């Protein structure tokens, strides 16, 4: 079951459980193909984890092209695997498996579950240490690798929250799923009728909040900075951020940049005016000022 804009937990494993991603080279090739498939199908990937005999993804069925995305990804990796290992048989056990995710709370749980896989398998103690998942990409300056890190950072809000969510998933053996006539759903029984109605409409309707975020017109950063200086009669590069007045103005500027430019905390942190603040501090500062 799916519809345009639906979020899914996707996975596939090697035929008969074989280790088709054994070794760094195989995982590296798969990541390159993942990034290529994201680019060509315009699919939004939020998280990934590659183990030796299977992979996990959390992704959005953007523009209804999820099937195209998986077909390209699995097909091209299958070709690579047969060329490097020989043989003409199956590489993957199934076409692919995708499970519809009910809402943001289950989306958070699904991402945490995926990122926690290496810890559960006792490959690492800290999920961020595993090099073949998207864990280290969030709240960092690392290349994105086809992952929409900004969306995930907005979803969790702070680095501490994503750390806490992933670590609390250590005891989860399987995601909570409900079986329906149209497929599996990560969520509750009350979502079944809603999902079927959305799938039948095939209109790609999303929650109004997410639609507003996607369709919002964002102002250029330079325009926001210039207008802010003119409004307050200041020069940002001469402002003393150690004073109460300077701190208040910087908090206000943070809200403008976040809401008018669409910048993520990691990108705001690169601006000189916020260079002394961590990404976690930016998140806390933003929410405190918005409440006021």
Can you tell me the distance from the alpha carbon of 34 to that of 72, in angstroms, rounded to the nearest whole number? 9
- The answer on 262 and 136 residing in a single domain is no
Q: Which residues sit opposite 10 in a β-bridge?
A: 57, 98
Spans of the chain, pLDDT less than 50? 191-192, 195, 202-217
Chain segment 33-80, per-residue pLDDT in tens: 999 999 888 888 999 999 999 999 999 988 788 999 999 999 999 999
The pLDDT, as a whole number, for residue 208 is 40
The pLDDT, as a whole number, for residue 28 is 95
The pLDDT, as a whole number, for residue 290 is 79
- The answer on 130 and 249 residing in a single domain is no
User: What's the total number of domains in the chain?
Assistant: 2
Phi, psi of 178 (to 5 degrees): -120, 130
Q: Note whether 151 and 157 are within 8 A (CB).
A: no
- Indicate the residue among 188, 209, 230 that finishes a domain: 209
Can you tell me the distance from the alpha carbon of 87 to that of 67, in angstroms, rounded to the nearest whole number? 26
2 lies in some domain: no
- The answer on 135 and 39 residing in a single domain is yes
The pLDDT, as a whole number, for residue 209 is 46
- The answer on 155 and 94 residing in a single domain is yes
- The answer on 149 and 267 residing in a single domain is no
User: CA of 9: how far to CAs of 57, 183, 218, 239, in Å?
Assistant: 6, 13, 30, 47
- Indicate the residue among 209, 232, 260 that finishes a domain: 209
Q: Which domain holds residue 12?
A: 7-209
214 lies in some domain: no
The pLDDT, as a whole number, for residue 251 is 93
Q: Which residues sit opposite 11 in a β-bridge?
A: 56, 97
Can you tell me the distance from the alpha carbon of 48 to that of 127, in angstroms, rounded to the nearest whole number? 12
- The answer on 247 and 129 residing in a single domain is no
State the CATH number of the domain containing residue 183.
Answer: 3.30.70.1290
- The answer on 171 and 26 residing in a single domain is yes
Can you tell me the distance from the alpha carbon of 95 to that of 72, in angstroms, rounded to the nearest whole number? 11
The pLDDT, as a whole number, for residue 278 is 86
- The answer on 233 and 112 residing in a single domain is no
197 lies in some domain: yes
1 lies in some domain: no
Nearest Cα to 131, choosing from 146, 115, 147? 115
Strand ranges (E), the chain: 7-13, 44-50, 54-60, 97-101, 177-180, 183-186
pTM score over 0.85: no
129 lies in some domain: yes
- The answer on 151 and 91 residing in a single domain is yes
Chain segment 209-245, per-residue pLDDT in tens: 444 444 334 677 877 888 898 899 999 988 999 999 9
- The answer on 114 and 19 residing in a single domain is yes
How many CA atoms lie within 13 Å of 99's alpha carbon, on the beta-carbon side?
22
287 lies in some domain: yes
The pLDDT, as a whole number, for residue 31 is 95
The pLDDT, as a whole number, for residue 89 is 79
The pLDDT, as a whole number, for residue 183 is 72
- The answer on 82 and 171 residing in a single domain is yes
The pLDDT, as a whole number, for residue 266 is 82
The tokens for 13 are 């494993």
Interacting residues of 169 by C-beta distance below 8 A, sequence separation 6+ = 109, 112, 113, 115, 116
- The answer on 130 and 80 residing in a single domain is yes
The pLDDT, as a whole number, for residue 218 is 62
- Indicate the residue among 209, 230, 249 that finishes a domain: 209
């Amino acid at each position: 079951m799916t519809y345009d804009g639906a979020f899914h937990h996707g996975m596939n494993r090697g035929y008969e459980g074989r280790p088709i991603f054994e070794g760094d080279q195989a995982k590296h090739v798969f990541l390159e193909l993942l990034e290529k498939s994201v680019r060509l199908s315009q699919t939004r990937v939020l998280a990934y984890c590659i183990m030796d005999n299977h992979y996990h993804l959390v992704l959005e069925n953007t523009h209804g092209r999820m099937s195209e995305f998986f077909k390209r990804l699995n097909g091209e990796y299958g070709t690579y695997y047969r060329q490097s290992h020989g043989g003409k048989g199956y590489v993957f056990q199934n076409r692919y498996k995708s499970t519809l995710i009910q809402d943001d709370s289950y989306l958070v749980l699904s991402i945490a579950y995926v990122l926690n896989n290496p810890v559960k398998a006792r490959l690492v103690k800290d999920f961020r240490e595993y090099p073949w998942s998207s864990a280290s990409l969030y709240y960092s300056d690392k290349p994105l690798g086809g992952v929409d890190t900004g969306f995930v950072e907005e979803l969790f809000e702070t680095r501490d929250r994503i750390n806490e969510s992933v670590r609390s998933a250590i005891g989860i053996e399987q995601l909570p799923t409900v079986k329906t006539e149209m497929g599996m759903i990560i969520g509750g029984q009350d979502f079944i009728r809603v999902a079927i109605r959305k799938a039948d409409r095939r209109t790609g309707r999303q929650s109004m909040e997410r639609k507003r975020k996607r369709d919002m017109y964002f102002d250029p950063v330079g325009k926001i900075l210039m207008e802010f200086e003119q409004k307050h009669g200041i020069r940002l590069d001469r402002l003393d951020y150690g004073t109460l007045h300077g701190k208040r103005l910087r908090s206000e500027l943070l809200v403008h940049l976040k809401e008018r430019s669409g910048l993520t905390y990691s990108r705001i942190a690169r601006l000189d005016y916020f260079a002394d603040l961590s990404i976690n501090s930016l998140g806390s500062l933003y929410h405190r000022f918005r409440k006021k």
